[in-house]
Amino acid sequence: MTVEEAIEKRRSKRQEISFSREPITLAELSQLLFSASGITGRFLELELRAAPSAGALYPIELYLVVGNVAQLEPGIYHYSPKYHNLSLIKRGDFGDKITQAVMNQPSMKNAAVVFIFSAIPARTTHKYGLRGWRYVYMEIGYISENIYLAATSLGISTTAVGAFYDEEVNQLLGLDGREEMALHVQVAGKAQE
Protein backbone atom coordinates (compact mmCIF):
# COMPACT_ATOMS: atom_id res chain seq x y z
CA MET A 1 0.00 0.00 0.00
CA THR A 2 1.35 3.44 -0.88
CA VAL A 3 1.51 6.28 1.62
CA GLU A 4 -1.27 8.04 -0.30
CA GLU A 5 -3.49 4.95 -0.07
CA ALA A 6 -2.82 4.64 3.67
CA ILE A 7 -3.72 8.30 4.18
CA GLU A 8 -6.91 7.86 2.16
CA LYS A 9 -7.97 4.70 4.04
CA ARG A 10 -6.92 5.79 7.55
CA ARG A 11 -9.93 5.98 9.86
CA SER A 12 -10.83 6.00 13.52
CA LYS A 13 -13.77 3.66 13.96
CA ARG A 14 -14.37 3.91 17.67
CA GLN A 15 -18.02 2.89 17.66
CA GLU A 16 -17.51 0.26 14.99
CA ILE A 17 -14.33 -1.44 16.21
CA SER A 18 -14.84 -4.85 17.63
CA PHE A 19 -11.55 -6.69 17.67
CA SER A 20 -11.39 -10.32 16.71
CA ARG A 21 -9.45 -12.86 18.76
CA GLU A 22 -6.94 -13.14 15.90
CA PRO A 23 -3.56 -12.01 17.21
CA ILE A 24 -1.34 -9.53 15.48
CA THR A 25 2.07 -10.93 14.69
CA LEU A 26 5.29 -9.95 16.38
CA ALA A 27 6.51 -8.64 13.01
CA GLU A 28 3.41 -6.43 12.71
CA LEU A 29 3.93 -5.06 16.22
CA SER A 30 7.58 -4.45 15.39
CA GLN A 31 6.56 -2.45 12.32
CA LEU A 32 4.06 -0.39 14.33
CA LEU A 33 6.72 0.42 16.94
CA PHE A 34 9.36 1.28 14.35
CA SER A 35 6.89 3.54 12.54
CA ALA A 36 6.02 5.21 15.82
CA SER A 37 9.44 5.89 17.29
CA GLY A 38 12.10 3.79 15.60
CA ILE A 39 15.56 5.17 14.89
CA THR A 40 15.62 6.21 11.23
CA GLY A 41 18.93 8.04 11.01
CA ARG A 42 21.66 9.95 12.73
CA PHE A 43 22.81 13.56 12.66
CA LEU A 44 26.04 14.33 14.46
CA GLU A 45 25.53 12.51 17.77
CA LEU A 46 21.72 12.59 17.64
CA GLU A 47 19.60 9.54 16.91
CA LEU A 48 16.67 10.65 14.77
CA ARG A 49 13.33 8.87 15.01
CA ALA A 50 10.40 8.20 12.71
CA ALA A 51 8.40 11.04 14.29
CA PRO A 52 9.86 14.54 14.61
CA SER A 53 10.71 16.02 18.00
CA ALA A 54 11.60 19.62 18.86
CA GLY A 55 15.36 19.76 19.24
CA ALA A 56 15.48 15.95 18.87
CA LEU A 57 14.82 15.78 22.62
CA TYR A 58 12.15 13.04 22.45
CA PRO A 59 10.07 13.53 25.61
CA ILE A 60 7.61 10.74 24.69
CA GLU A 61 7.95 7.19 25.99
CA LEU A 62 5.88 4.29 24.66
CA TYR A 63 4.39 1.62 26.91
CA LEU A 64 2.31 -1.29 25.69
CA VAL A 65 -0.38 -3.36 27.34
CA VAL A 66 -0.08 -6.54 25.30
CA GLY A 67 -3.11 -8.80 25.19
CA ASN A 68 -3.00 -10.72 21.92
CA VAL A 69 0.33 -10.64 20.09
CA ALA A 70 1.68 -13.92 18.71
CA GLN A 71 4.90 -15.05 20.41
CA LEU A 72 4.67 -12.35 23.09
CA GLU A 73 3.26 -13.08 26.51
CA PRO A 74 0.56 -10.78 27.87
CA GLY A 75 1.85 -8.01 30.06
CA ILE A 76 3.00 -4.42 30.25
CA TYR A 77 6.09 -3.49 28.26
CA HIS A 78 8.27 -0.45 27.62
CA TYR A 79 9.63 0.21 24.13
CA SER A 80 13.28 1.18 23.61
CA PRO A 81 13.76 2.99 20.27
CA LYS A 82 17.55 2.79 20.69
CA TYR A 83 17.54 -1.02 20.69
CA HIS A 84 14.15 -1.52 19.00
CA ASN A 85 13.10 -3.93 21.73
CA LEU A 86 10.59 -4.35 24.51
CA SER A 87 11.28 -4.66 28.22
CA LEU A 88 8.71 -6.56 30.26
CA ILE A 89 7.57 -4.46 33.22
CA LYS A 90 4.69 -6.60 34.52
CA ARG A 91 3.66 -10.07 33.42
CA GLY A 92 -0.03 -10.95 33.15
CA ASP A 93 -3.38 -10.08 31.63
CA PHE A 94 -4.14 -6.39 32.23
CA GLY A 95 -7.07 -6.17 29.81
CA ASP A 96 -9.68 -5.53 32.51
CA LYS A 97 -7.52 -2.94 34.29
CA ILE A 98 -6.75 -0.94 31.16
CA THR A 99 -10.40 -1.16 30.04
CA GLN A 100 -11.51 0.23 33.41
CA ALA A 101 -8.82 2.95 33.24
CA VAL A 102 -10.17 4.12 29.86
CA MET A 103 -13.69 4.46 31.22
CA ASN A 104 -14.84 1.02 30.02
CA GLN A 105 -14.81 1.99 26.36
CA PRO A 106 -15.93 -0.97 24.25
CA SER A 107 -13.08 -0.49 21.75
CA MET A 108 -10.74 -2.03 24.34
CA LYS A 109 -12.39 -5.44 24.20
CA ASN A 110 -10.12 -8.06 22.67
CA ALA A 111 -7.47 -5.47 21.75
CA ALA A 112 -4.20 -7.01 20.66
CA VAL A 113 -2.21 -4.11 22.07
CA VAL A 114 -2.84 -0.82 23.84
CA PHE A 115 -0.18 1.84 23.29
CA ILE A 116 0.21 4.29 26.14
CA PHE A 117 2.18 7.44 25.40
CA SER A 118 3.82 9.00 28.44
CA ALA A 119 5.80 12.21 28.60
CA ILE A 120 8.85 13.32 30.50
CA PRO A 121 8.29 17.05 29.89
CA ALA A 122 11.58 18.17 31.45
CA ARG A 123 13.40 16.78 28.40
CA THR A 124 11.80 19.55 26.36
CA THR A 125 10.95 22.27 28.87
CA HIS A 126 14.55 22.58 30.07
CA LYS A 127 15.37 24.00 26.63
CA TYR A 128 12.09 25.61 25.55
CA GLY A 129 10.46 26.60 28.84
CA LEU A 130 6.67 26.41 28.99
CA ARG A 131 6.52 26.36 25.19
CA GLY A 132 8.08 22.90 25.48
CA TRP A 133 4.66 21.58 26.54
CA ARG A 134 3.31 22.45 23.09
CA TYR A 135 6.07 20.38 21.54
CA VAL A 136 5.23 17.45 23.80
CA TYR A 137 1.63 17.38 22.54
CA MET A 138 2.68 17.90 18.93
CA GLU A 139 5.03 14.93 19.16
CA ILE A 140 2.24 12.74 20.53
CA GLY A 141 0.18 13.63 17.46
CA TYR A 142 3.01 12.75 15.09
CA ILE A 143 3.61 9.38 16.73
CA SER A 144 -0.10 8.57 16.87
CA GLU A 145 -0.56 9.37 13.18
CA ASN A 146 2.45 7.23 12.27
CA ILE A 147 0.79 4.32 14.10
CA TYR A 148 -2.47 5.00 12.23
CA LEU A 149 -0.73 4.94 8.85
CA ALA A 150 1.39 1.87 9.59
CA ALA A 151 -1.62 0.01 11.01
CA THR A 152 -3.71 0.88 7.97
CA SER A 153 -1.01 -0.41 5.63
CA LEU A 154 -0.85 -3.67 7.64
CA GLY A 155 -4.62 -4.19 7.74
CA ILE A 156 -4.77 -3.53 11.48
CA SER A 157 -7.48 -1.39 13.06
CA THR A 158 -6.49 1.34 15.49
CA THR A 159 -8.10 4.25 17.26
CA ALA A 160 -6.95 6.94 19.63
CA VAL A 161 -8.50 7.06 23.09
CA GLY A 162 -8.50 10.48 24.72
CA ALA A 163 -10.76 9.71 27.66
CA PHE A 164 -9.02 7.92 30.50
CA TYR A 165 -8.41 8.24 34.21
CA ASP A 166 -4.92 9.70 34.47
CA GLU A 167 -4.17 8.34 37.93
CA GLU A 168 -5.28 4.80 37.06
CA VAL A 169 -3.15 4.67 33.91
CA ASN A 170 -0.15 6.21 35.69
CA GLN A 171 -0.52 3.73 38.54
CA LEU A 172 -0.79 0.79 36.13
CA LEU A 173 2.54 1.82 34.57
CA GLY A 174 4.20 2.84 37.83
CA LEU A 175 4.49 6.51 36.79
CA ASP A 176 4.50 9.32 39.36
CA GLY A 177 2.24 11.65 37.33
CA ARG A 178 4.60 14.59 37.84
CA GLU A 179 7.97 13.87 36.26
CA GLU A 180 6.46 11.29 33.91
CA MET A 181 2.78 10.97 33.10
CA ALA A 182 0.47 9.19 30.67
CA LEU A 183 -0.99 11.61 28.12
CA HIS A 184 -2.45 9.50 25.31
CA VAL A 185 -3.78 6.00 24.66
CA GLN A 186 -4.17 4.21 21.33
CA VAL A 187 -5.63 0.74 20.85
CA ALA A 188 -4.94 -1.67 17.99
CA GLY A 189 -5.91 -5.13 16.81
CA LYS A 190 -7.45 -7.16 14.02
CA ALA A 191 -11.02 -6.07 13.33
CA GLN A 192 -13.84 -8.58 13.14
CA GLU A 193 -15.10 -9.08 9.62
Query: What pLDDT does 15 receive?
Result: 47
HSE of 168, CA atoms in CB hemisphere, 13 A: 14
What DSSP letter does each residue of 119-132 carry, written as one string? E-THHHHHHHTTHH
Per residue in 90-144, pLDDT tens?
Answer: 999 999 999 999 998 877 778 899 999 999 999 999 999 999 999 999 999 999 9
Q: What is the pTM of this model?
A: 0.92
Nearest residue to 182 via CA among 108, 102, 113: 102
User: Mapping DSSP to helix (H, G, I), strand (E, B) and coil, where does residue 81 land?
Assistant: coil
Query: What pLDDT does 2 receive?
Result: 67
Residue ranges, the chain, pLDDT below 50? 15
Query: What pLDDT does 73 receive?
Result: 97
Query: What pLDDT does 57 receive?
Result: 96
Query: What pLDDT does 191 receive?
Result: 82
How far apart CA 189 and CA 164 sit, in angstroms, is: 19
Query: What pLDDT does 71 receive?
Result: 96
CB atoms within 10 A of CB 159: 20
Asked if residue 166 lies in contact with residue 150, where contact means CB atoms within 8 angstroms, the answer is: no
Structural domains of the chain ordered from first start: 3-8+16-188 (3.40.109.10)
